[in-house]
A = this chain, B = another copy of it.
Amino acid sequence: MSLIQPRTLKGFRDYLPAVMIPREQLMQTAREVFRSFGFAPIDTPTLEHLEILTGKGSDETDRQIYRFTDNGGRNVGMRFDLTVPLARFAAQHISTLGTPFKRYHIAPVWRGEKPQDGRYREFVQCDFDTIGTESVLADIEAVAVINNLLETIGFDRFTISVNNRAILTGLLEHLGLADKSVAVLRSLDKLAKIGREKTAEEMINAAGVTAEQADAVLRLADCTGDATSVFATLTEITSGNEKANAGIERLRDIYEGALASGVPERRLRLDVSIARGLDYYTGVIFETTLDDLPSIGSVCSGGRYDNLAGLYTKQHLPGIGASLGLDRLIAAMEQLNLLPTASTPAPIFIAYFDKDHRDDYLRLATNLRSAGLKVEVYPEPRKLGAQLKYADAHGFTVAIIAGGQEWTDGECQLKVLATKKSSQVTYRHDAPEELVEGLRQILQQPQ
């Protein structure tokens, strides 16, 4: 019989243990942080009626949807994000769930786009949202969640940029450009890439604004720095426009509330230039960059929207949410050498080389697990050298070595694998304390 070639589809990938271990750890950290703010988990089906998915999407996402006709003749598609399923879910269940409704959702999504630049056709999204309230407290809380997320993952130096889109909307209204806002925003979105001069040119040529108008918009976008002066300049540029003023007050509220929530001032940045796409967000907007690797882009972005589920229900559902860029974060941690390299989740290795004592090795492992330790027993009574090679290759921290007379004498060796240093400790099945303590000390040392 000829073999089938084992391979993954183009744009898809396997996760081997060394990558999957920190990935799972990251997802678990995210869950813990979300829960600590009262966000509850939900899940939705991978497949949806195609009309649900295409209802709102742009032509681009439409093209990217994996779609087919199922055995029952239904047109179905695989979800391409977690926002459209959330909208459908909320429309369907909000009368049962009530508002405010706080949920998180960590799940894969699929897009049939050209795989490039480390982008895959299957990737995990990690979203949290508060639905059914316009309260500024929910906006503030979103900033606090982002801060706690990155801090708990292990980052110290990062910047959460905050904007309120209402300020720019108010300015455009004040300048008489309300009807040109999409074109102006499209140009403004390129500011970081093409620079101020080219952005102004494009606004004048493509959006049809005057040089003075372009200058006012770009002065607003330039406006960053310490909070007091930013708020003063914003107020000056927007010249008393009511919408802009309300937007500035709300931004100030969010800024101060975030500080009260314990977000360090050094991590907060007001940046009126960020817009995040054209028309989904209507209020506050966030982006988060790593100070030591800004080039990787935003690792957590989101904002406030007016109405989540207008395609599926008449119920008005405002909300705020953000999305943690899991894969981008993993890539960043890899570049910054923040990822562990072990391919085992258990730090303790028990060498099993004395065949006659198999049950003693098993009992030892059970005792250590009862003490809350993670431990692997090598499954075959092979030569010690081969087993230690395996333990080294997999990144175990410490090996327990005991055989023959040692079992009788109630002793075993602890070998720290990185340093090759060994020490002797006493161990009996009915008195494992000294061994447990010795292992804990080794595991607490920085590896």
Q: Which residues of B contact A155 (CB under 8 A)?
A: none
Decide: B37 and A359 in contact? CB cutoff 8 A.
Answer: no
CA distance A9 to B378 in the complex (A): 46
Look across to chain B and name the residue whose beta carbon is closest to the beta carbon of A112.
Answer: B71
Contact B379 A47 (CB under 8 A): no
Contact indicator per residue, chain A 11-40, by CB within 8 Å of chain B (1) or not (0): 011111100110110001001001111111
Q: Which residues of B contact A373 (CB under 8 A)?
A: 36
Which of A309-317, A408-416, A438-446 makes up part of the contact surface? A309-317
At the interface, yes or no: A424 with Cβ under 8 Å from chain B? no
Most-contacted residue by chain B among A96, A369, A370 (CB, 10 A): A369
Knowing that A14-B89, A97-B343, A138-B379 touch, tell me 18 more A-B residue pairs with CB under 8 angstroms.
A6-B312, A9-B49, A10-B74, A13-B45, A14-B42, A15-B42, A15-B43, A28-B31, A38-B377, A39-B345, A135-B380, A135-B381, A137-B377, A140-B362, A141-B377, A257-B358, A257-B359, A261-B362
Q: A314 touches which one: B3, B261, B375 (CB < 8 A)? A: B3
Contact B345 A40 (CB under 8 A): yes
Report the Cα distance A93→B15, complex, angstroms.
Answer: 11
Supposing A352-B137, A376-B38 touch, asked if A122 and B47 sit within 8 A by C-beta, the answer is yes
Q: Which of A100-108, A163-171, A327-335 contacts B (4 or more CB under 8 A)?
A: A100-108
Is B16 a contact of A96 with CB atoms below 8 Å?
yes
Q: Which residue of B is nearest A342, CB measured?
A: B40
- For A390, what are the chain B residues with a Cβ–Cβ distance below 8 Å? 98
Interface members, chain A 147-171 (any B CB < 8 Å):
148
Say whether A312 contacts B35, CB under 8 Å.
Answer: no
Judged by a CB distance under 8 angstroms, whether A221 is at the interface is no
Q: Which residues of B contact A200 (CB under 8 A)?
A: none
Cα separation A96 to B133 with both chains bound (whole Å)? 51
A-side interface mostly:
mixed
Once A98-B390, A100-B379 are accepted as A-B contacts, the answer to whether A20 and B41 lie under 8 Å apart by CB is yes
- The residue of chain B having its C-beta at the shortest distance from the C-beta of A78 within the complex is B46
Closest Cβ of chain B to A384, distance in Å, is: 16
Of the candidates B17, B44, B78, B140, which one forms a contact with A14 in the assembled complex, judged by CB atoms under 8 Å apart?
B44
Q: Which residue of B lies closest to A20 (CB)?
A: B41
Q: What B residues does A224 contact at CB under 8 A? A: none
Query: Taking the complex as formed, is A232 at the interface, i.e. its CB lies under 8 A from any CB of chain B?
Result: no
By beta carbon, the residue of chain B nearest A55 is B4
Question: Do A9 and B48 contact each other (CB < 8 Å), given the known contacts A14-B43, A261-B366?
Answer: yes
Are B47 and A12 in contact (CB-based, < 8 A)?
A: yes
A108-143, CB under 8 A of B: which get 1 and which 0? 101010000000001000000010010101101100
Known contacts being A133-B379, A345-B40, is A144 close to B12, with CB within 8 Å? no
Chain B residues, Cβ within 8 Å of A42: 14-17, 20
